[in-house]
Chain A
Amino acid sequence: MNDDMTRRSFLKTGSLVLAATAIAGPSGLFNASPVEGASGIPFKPHAFLEIGTYETVTVWVGQTDLGQGTHTGLCMVIADELDAAWETVQVKMALAAEPFKDPLWHAQLTGGSSSFRNRWDLLRTVGAAARQMLVEAAAEQWGIPGTDCVAREGKVFHPDGSSLTYGQLAEAAGKRPVPENPSLKKPKDYQIMGTDRKRLDIPDKVMGKTVYGIDFAMPGMCIAVVARPPRYGARPASHDAKAAMAVTGVVQVVPLEDRIAVCAETTYAAIQGRNALDIKWSDGSSPDLNDETIAAFFKKQLDQPGAVAEESGDAEKALTEAARTLEQSYTLPYLSHAQVEPINCTAHVEKERCRIWMPTQGQTATQETASRLTGLSPEKVEVMTLPAGGGFGLRGEQDAVEDAVLLAKTLDRPVKVIWTREDDFANDRFRPASHSRIRAGLDKDGRVIAWSHKVAAPSVMSRVMPQAVQNGIDPDAVAGIGDMPYSLPNLQVNYVMIDLPVPVGWWRSVGYSCNVFAVESFIDELAHAAGKDPVSFRLEHMEKDSRPYTVLTRLAEKGRWGSPIASGRARGVAVVSCFESVVAHMAEVSVGEKGRITVHRMVCVVDCGTAIYPDAIRAQAEAGVVMGLSTAFHERVRFANGGVKTTNYDGYPVLTISEVPEIEVHIVENPIKAGGIGEPVFPSVTPAVANAVFQATGVRLRDLPFQKDLLLKG
């Protein structure tokens, strides 16, 4: 889309005042109640921004902050172009509404690390337009040209040094037309972007004041837990509603299609009521489904030819001409999001409106779901986005909205649906498992001349966006292969869609989370086969001075690649280019006697374009390492008897503090459009570690999570 078009049309639609005023919740971050009409704030140049008489700059956001510091970052972009005084800036979560939809995707959602990269021009333009209006208002008052005035830290300065504050100018500025093409700052003029500010949401989080979705309460509300099928496709054959009703506090038992809800005055009563239901479930659609049958199915499917997802040159022909060929397979398991706040949603359905309070990642989808179930139009569904205890992709799902709305209708009172941890593991939409087989050919000089890659994996898109699946190809399932950071002359990618009852969904870095492990492990194997250094080999296959080339070069420097290393330790690298950013990791590991891998140090180099909020970028890079190592060593969802076997964290350990290595983060200065950060910091962690383990032991770990017994034999 033409950026300029987006910018202009957005300024028009966005400059309409949003029909909602702020009643700040305890965290100050959400809009608890919608009110018709304006709130008396004199200057609202856009739905994103309000400037009050008392020197308050309020940034309204529609993006969900799942812990990445997105809200603070969004404020930094707008405040910088506005030349606001940072201490006057506050952030508020807006009701779901049209102006907050993603300019490219036309839906309000937080995903794909898109909060900044899809709004880069828009956010800056909003700030710049407001600044220009304030400057013009001052100039008019002084009777001098606007070009003689300077805006700085919440004031407009006269050439004589006197000044007017934004608060003093707000009313006059509010009467001026919104400029269509305000001039944007040059990167060298940024005052707020690129600096480290304290995150606006942190004090409340530390004081325990933040009200997350699961904490929400309102008068008259009851709490529901829902007994969902323990096996895919199972239905309740019988249940004991009386026993549940006998639990003190239980209000009502409501059977819903394939599940049964217990509504109660307290969470504990609802849980106990559910335990008392004594449901007999049918066998479900595939009682034989378990870890073994799933693995066997993947293995068999990987032998299918699959559909050609990408093709350049003639990989098959080049393979026959290669001086040397290599073939390897890699496997990755289903993963749970395991976000700490269980899924929840509160709904109140009234005659003329339906209100939803939820830590949702997909506001538009939430509106549509509630609209479908209530018959109200989507605009009549008011979605209050509450702070979320993590998300990693899962909070775009609408299962809890459905239950909350249906129950709120049935009971005619507000209902908060809570998943227990057991519900969360059993009903997750998992990161797809993925198996791949790669064949490649090297010429006599050790250059890759052919790469033929087959992926067998379930398709997320087939469920969430079927129109994106063409000719049997889910583009997400093969992400990271055709767009790997290497220029290879003959490349073919085939995709075999796995159809199993296990539901899959978006998970941090989506397809890259799987395929980059295979690609970056295999390129390392090729380097070894060619007798070359893994870093030089990668660089030789990259376009010189491209972003990945620069990032990898920087990584080698910062990580002291090739320098002497403590005995028993070894290094490995990996790189990824995705979501308009480039990230590379270097792992330093040792392997102990019993095959125990210790990661001593991780170095991460990030190029995410303009580094708006460096400390939040570092925090994400640290988080990416932790989550990456967690999947390297521990994470794997288990299946048995036709359903999920994993029930809680005791069966799904995640990385703990003593396993966290020293982490160094380096940000490459690259003042272009801001790229993503939450997703790109994840994929290259696991291959960097696997490659380091190979350097240390000569053993290749091609399956996640890593199997220690391989290292014992090695």
Chain B
Amino acid sequence: MLTLTVNGMKKEVDVDPGTPLLWVLRDNLGITSVKYTCGIAECGMCTVLIGGEARRSCAIAAGDVQGSAITTIEGLADDHPVKVAWIEQQVPQCGYCQPGIMLQTVDFLSRVPSPSEAQIGEAMDNVICRCGSHPRMKKAIAQAAVLTASQGG
């Protein structure tokens, strides 16, 4: 039995501790906003925050994050600056890649609160969006940074 803390709630799951966190979240806990796409830590769609740090859940054994705070997109408030900016800039196309990218953005902005365009490019260059929402993603990241600053965050 593993105990995971997801979005502030403790969950018990009966799985092999070597199971990738991605599948435990999706299949055992029903948190399907965490997306499967590549399974080899290439795309960033399965990203969750672990202790505030963006990590790819397809490449983490569930047993290794017992005791850590795991955050998925549902764990961000509806009026979180990243969510607000994402809607404002109408970023998603199919939307499938977005939760992972948004969570990576949260981590990035916590470290680089007012990034330049080049810094955004560098930090987000390891995610895939096949639909091509990148131009809007850039704008939304910049806007989220401004919103966060104005909230004194």
Report which A residues bind B (CB closer than 8 A).
66-69, 198-199, 201-203, 205-212, 214-215, 217, 223, 248, 266-268, 338-342, 387-392, 420-421, 615, 619, 622-627, 648-650, 654-658, 660, 663
Asked if A656 contacts B96 (CB within 8 A), the reply is: no
Asked if A657 contacts B124 (CB within 8 A), the reply is: yes
CA distance A199 to B42 in the complex (A): 29
CA distance A82 to B132 in the complex (A): 33
Does B98 belong to the interface (CB within 8 Å)? yes
Besides the known contacts A339-B130, A649-B43, 17 further A-B residue pairs in the complex with CB atoms under 8 A apart = A205-B98, A206-B95, A206-B98, A207-B83, A209-B33, A214-B36, A223-B27, A248-B16, A267-B36, A387-B94, A421-B40, A619-B93, A622-B134, A622-B136, A650-B38, A654-B128, A657-B121
Q: Which of A215, A421, A655 contacts B39 (CB 8 A)?
A: A421
CA distance A248 to B93 in the complex (A): 38
**Interface stretch of the complex, out of B49-57, B84-92, B145-153:** B84-92
A656-B127 contact in complex given A206-B102, A267-B26, A622-B135, C-beta closer than 8 Å: yes
Collect the chain A residues with CB atoms within 8 Å of residue B99's CB. Answer: 208
Collect the chain B residues with CB atoms within 8 Å of residue A388's CB. Answer: 94
CB closest chain-B residue, reference A265? B27
The 7 A-B pairs at the shortest CB distance, nearest first, are namely A208-B33, A626-B132, A389-B96, A205-B95, A67-B94, A623-B132, A67-B93
Asked if A268 contacts B43 (CB within 8 A), the reply is: no
Asked if A338 contacts B130 (CB within 8 A), the reply is: yes
Collect the chain A residues with CB atoms within 8 Å of residue B112's CB. Answer: none
CA distance A648 to B20 in the complex (A): 18
Q: List 6 A-B contacts (CB under 8 A).
A: A201-B95, A212-B32, A212-B96, A267-B36, A389-B97, A649-B40
If over half of A's interface residues share one DSSP class (helix, strand or loop), that class is named, otherwise mixed; here it is loop
A421-B38 contact in complex given A268-B23, A341-B96, A623-B93, C-beta closer than 8 Å: yes
Asked if B130 contacts A340 (CB within 8 A), the reply is: yes
Asked if B137 contacts A341 (CB within 8 A), the reply is: no
Asked if B43 contacts A208 (CB within 8 A), the reply is: no
Collect the chain B residues with CB atoms within 8 Å of residue A203's CB. Answer: 87
Report which B residues bind A (CB closer than 8 A).
16, 19-20, 23, 26-28, 30, 32-33, 35-40, 42-43, 45, 72-74, 78, 83, 86-87, 90-99, 102, 118, 120-122, 124-138
**Total number of residue pairs linking A and B with CB closer than 8 Å:** 166
Collect the chain A residues with CB atoms within 8 Å of residue B132's CB. Answer: 622-627, 655
CA distance A205 to B87 in the complex (A): 9
CB closest chain-B residue, reference A216? B32
Collect the chain A residues with CB atoms within 8 Å of residue B130's CB. Answer: 338-340, 390, 392, 627, 654
Asked if B94 contacts A663 (CB within 8 A), the reply is: no
Asked if B74 contacts A340 (CB within 8 A), the reply is: no
Q: Which of A206, A214, A267, A390 contacts B131 (CB 8 A)?
A: A390
Collect the chain A residues with CB atoms within 8 Å of residue B95's CB. Answer: 67, 201-202, 205-206, 210, 387, 389
Asked if A202 contacts B90 (CB within 8 A), the reply is: yes
Asked if A660 contacts B96 (CB within 8 A), the reply is: no
Asked if B23 contacts A341 (CB within 8 A), the reply is: no
CA distance A387 to B94 in the complex (A): 8
Asked if A648 contacts B122 (CB within 8 A), the reply is: no
CA distance A45 to B137 in the complex (A): 40
CA distance A198 to B40 in the complex (A): 35
A657-B83 contact in complex given A615-B90, A648-B38, C-beta closer than 8 Å: no
Asked if A649 contacts B20 (CB within 8 A), the reply is: no
Collect the chain A residues with CB atoms within 8 Å of residue B28's CB. Answer: 266
Asked if B19 contacts A649 (CB within 8 A), the reply is: no
CA distance A663 to B139 in the complex (A): 12
Collect the chain B residues with CB atoms within 8 Å of residue A248's CB. Answer: 16
CB closest chain-B residue, reference A627? B132
Q: Which of A199, A209, A217, A663 contacts B135 (CB 8 A)?
A: A663
Q: What distance in Å separates the Cβ of B8 from its nearest Cβ neighbour in chain A?
A: 16
CA distance A574 to B55 in the complex (A): 42
CA distance A392 to B132 in the complex (A): 12
Asked if A657 contacts B20 (CB within 8 A), the reply is: no
Asked if B92 contacts A648 (CB within 8 A), the reply is: no
CA distance A339 to B33 in the complex (A): 17
CA distance A67 to B20 in the complex (A): 29
